[in-house]
Amino acid sequence: MAGTVEGEEIDVGFSGRRCIHSRNCVLGDPHVFVPNAPGEWIHPEAASVEKIVAIAQSCPSGAITYVRKDGGPQEKPPVVNTVRLRENGPLAVHAEIVLGGETSFRATLCRCGASENKPFCDGSHSKAGFAATGEPALKDTPALAARNGPLTVTPTTNGPLKLEGNVEIVTGTGHTVDRTTRTFLCRCGHSANKPFCDGSHKRVGFIG
């Protein structure tokens, strides 16, 4: 399910394919994002533009987007591209993401190998009992010359996620694991060197 709900001062977009049901939106303002509504569930007129913007920008998956029509600033890419490691869960990317020919600023990408909506997370890590720390060992890496800019994310065929561009990989609590301009992150769920690929996808016959 995807589409845009038009408001007088702001249009709100929703992509069901990207949604991980983090519930940031319905908890942020249940008058705007009505939980369990049988019909239309997004009501842009029910709160201020600034509040809707704040809720949309807190959506980790990028499922909620917006276009302001009040003359205010549109969403911009972050000044630092990051991949955050969720404990026993997905990769939360915040960057100028170029993926599948589309550009977005937020995404949650599967790293358990069980999602039926690859490369996006669909919550399958919980059912699969996926275990992966969000606090791996830190690397002593030098600062990048630039920390923003386009980050191209490519799900390689039956293999890892290839990231090309400035990016900092950080723990769930914000400590830096790596700073790099090119890396391969495990998405089969079996690497012994998570979050990085170690070639295990070949051994386990990963398809995706």
pLDDT at site 112: 98
pLDDT at site 39: 87
- Stronger pLDDT, 193 or 1, i.e. the higher one: 193
Q: Which domain holds residue 36?
A: 2-68
State the CB neighbour count (10 A cutoff) for residue 193. Answer: 12
Q: Work out the average pLDDT over 190-205.
A: 97
Q: pLDDT (tens digit, 9 = 90+) per residue, 21-63?
A: 989 999 999 999 999 888 899 999 999 999 999 999 999 999 9
- HSE-CB for 163 with a 13 A CA cutoff: 30
User: How would residue 170 be classed by pLDDT, with cut points 50, 70 and 90?
Assistant: very high
pTM of structure:
0.93
Single-letter amino acid, residue 59: C
Tell me how far apart the alpha carbons of residues 95 and 105 are, in angstroms, rounded to a whole number.
Answer: 5
89 and 116 both lie in a single domain: yes
Within-domain flag for 143: yes
Q: CATH code at 126?
A: 3.40.5.90
Single-letter amino acid, residue 65: T
The enclosing H or E element of 14 equals strand 10-15
Tell me how far apart the alpha carbons of residues 116 and 110 are, in angstroms, rounded to a whole number.
Answer: 10
189 and 105 both lie in a single domain: yes
Within-domain flag for 76: no
pLDDT at site 2: 64
96 and 182 both lie in a single domain: yes
| Tally of domains in the chain | 2
Within-domain flag for 75: no
Within-domain flag for 74: no
Domain boundary among 45, 68, 91: 68
